Structure 1
Amino acid sequence: MRHRLSAATLAVTAAVTAVTFVTAARAQKGPQMSRSPLGEAIRAAMIASPGLLSGFRDTPRAPTAPYADDIARDLALLDRLAPRLFDPDRPGLGPAGAPTRIALFSRADCAPCAAARAELAALAARMGFRAALFDMGRDAGLARDLGLDTAPSYVLPDKLLRGAMPAIVLERYLRD
Structure 2
Amino acid sequence: MRLSFLLCAMAFPAVAQTDFSAMTQAERTAFGAEVRALLMDEPKLAADAMAGPNYAAEAYRDEADADLALLNDLSAEVLDGSSIALFIAPDCLACVDAERELDDISKRYDIKFKIHDMSNPATFALAERLGIGEAPFYVMPTMILRGHIPDIVLVRYLTK
Residue equivalent to 1:14: none
Residue equivalent to 1:62: 53
1:105 aligns with 2:87: yes
Mapped contact 2:136–2:146 kept (Cα < 8 A): yes
CA distance in structure 2 between the aligned counterparts of 1:71 and 1:146, rounded to whole angstroms: 13
Aligned pairs (5 A) from 1:4-153: 61-64=52-55, 65=57, 66-88=59-81, 100-138=82-120, 139-153=123-137
SS at match of 2:107: helix
Give the paired residue count.
Answer: 107
The structure richer in helix per residue is 2
Q: CA RMSD in A?
A: 1.6
Give 5+ residue unaligned stretches, structure 2: 1-49
CA distance in structure 2 between the aligned counterparts of 1:155 and 1:129, rounded to whole angstroms: 14
Deviation at 1:175, TM superposition (A): 2.0
**Higher Cα Rg, which structure:** 1
Deviation at 1:154, TM superposition (A): 0.2
Could you tell me which amino acid in structure 1 is paired with residue 140 of structure 2?
A: L
Could you tell me which amino acid in structure 1 is paired with residue 80 of structure 2?
A: D
Residue equivalent to 1:155: 139
Give 5+ residue unaligned stretches, structure 1: 1-58, 89-99
